[in-house]
Amino acid sequence: MANRPQIAVLISGSGSNLQAIIDGCQSGQIEAEICVVVSNNEEAFGLQRAEKAGIPTQILDHRNYENREAYDSELVHCLNQYQPDLLVLAGFMRILTPLFTEAFVGKLINIHPSLLPKYPGLHTHRRALDAGDSHHGATVHFVTAELDGGPPILQASIQILDGDTEKSIASRVLSEVEHKIYPLAVKWFVEKRVQMIDGKAWLDGELVGSSGFQYGKEEKT
């Protein structure tokens, strides 16, 4: 339906979070339509997921551009053709420049595999283990020019178990946390329940805490 909110998803790899959002749209959990999936990697398995679901795909290889700004400029041009209401970063392994983040301010979200503000950047599971943390998880947040520094929307955690490894934690965070909270955050956005105002996240008219809404600990669906 043309009047449904339009979502663009950016990926670099397997696209399991993309699949969770596709499933949410197909089941009716998310009242929206994915209008395009864009990847910087032509071998990303997520492109096959999109094609199987009948979603248009675009490949923009960053290696064909002289710098980040040139790539991001072309990416903005590509996405503007689809006029998305929401842009979802689902394992898009690019550091975005302000040229891009400012073009889509307030409608660009990401999921980061840590309990932000802990562990922005890479190797989050290893860092949680090395620090002896009892819990780890993931956070959906609005994207700003600051890497992993945009206001958190939604967060969920798992307990770190004796014998856990970086690989086992990564697997559980993905399947038990990310695949649940990312579709929920997308649902909230397209229902206009969550928005970014003056650099802060608001849900149902209330300011969200500095770590985001706590999934499983607070009551909202």
Q: Which residues are catalytic?
A: 112
As to burial, measured by CB atoms within 10 angstroms (0-12 exposed, 13-18 middle, 19+ buried), residue 71 is buried
**Is the backbone peptide bond immediately before 117 cis, with ω within 30 degrees of 0?**
yes
Neighbouring CB atoms inside 10 A of 184's CB total 22
User: Residue 151, Cα to own-chain centre: how many angstroms?
Assistant: 13
C-alpha 86/C-alpha 7 separation (Å) is 5
Compute the chain's Rg from CA coordinates: 17
* Residues near 44 by beta carbon (within 8 Å), at least 6 away in sequence: 11, 12, 13, 14, 15
Is residue 57 a contact partner of residue 36, using CB atoms and an 8 Å limit? yes
CB within 8 Å of 179: residues ≥ 6 apart: 16, 17, 20
Q: Are 182 and 17 in contact (CB under 8 A)?
A: yes
